[in-house]
Structure 1
């Protein structure tokens, strides 16, 4: 969905930039033509409802777009800065370090990232776990839920805190090749 929105936005931006350049005379003869096609100008002149209706539809679309942007910005802000009181934020930061350390101690887990997100009414814990390719994810999931996650919930003071655990394989990054180790003789 985000890719489709980005493509549509880029296309609309290109159309707007082209229209702006044409209005400034960048394309020569295009700047000498009237803004509206003569047939459309006659239609708008004959029907008094056309231009106010077109302006109203454009205004509604613009307001809907602005509302959508505000909602998306609010979501992004709550991802990075949870809407919780400062004491909870301090406790969460301290407990996150303990949770990450305990999770890295589980067999097969190479890296973890812990983040408290959401609003004051609906906080949640986002835990990203990078595992080796042969790790049994179900065992890691059970160990996390039974120990470190429960300790985190108690430390933060939110016993019903929803937790989202995302697993990913810990693969070598593209572009960075591992040098072969010389064989010892």
Structure 2
């Protein structure tokens, strides 16, 4: 008998997560004005793999919440809305190439592979700035963001944080990692 690789939650786990997400949705109306939970829940129920990804976001401390609706694609966008970079996704370098390049003190994993395994993508710079319009995030931590290929080709990567009432975008070597740097993700449903 082969083991199923289908990424799906058990029915009781799905219901529990939907309750957590609905409570967060109702508590943070400023993040998604003019959106209705019932429409979002229906979409989640017919896309169990997306619910599985949201559970991964939740289990790693991301506190996912709906932040917008893309009318062109009819997709709801969930971002990690934890106040600080998700605790369960810190101390990773940027990507596999960076991980392999480290000779000593390699981190456990890398942000891009962890995100892909979760079924999410790192926030872009624009998405990160959009998130910061909804509150103050990463005031003590920082988060890797999706880095343009031209920068990554030269060995660099980008990360952001929020200090002095300003969103800062910085650069670092892709193989660097810090206890206070993680990554925030986006999931399109």
TM-score (norm 1): 0.26
Instruction: Give the helix-richer structure, 1 or 2.
Output: 1
Q: Which has the higher contact order (CA 8 A, sep 6+)?
A: 2
Larger Rg: 1
Instruction: Give the strand-richer structure, 1 or 2.
Output: 2
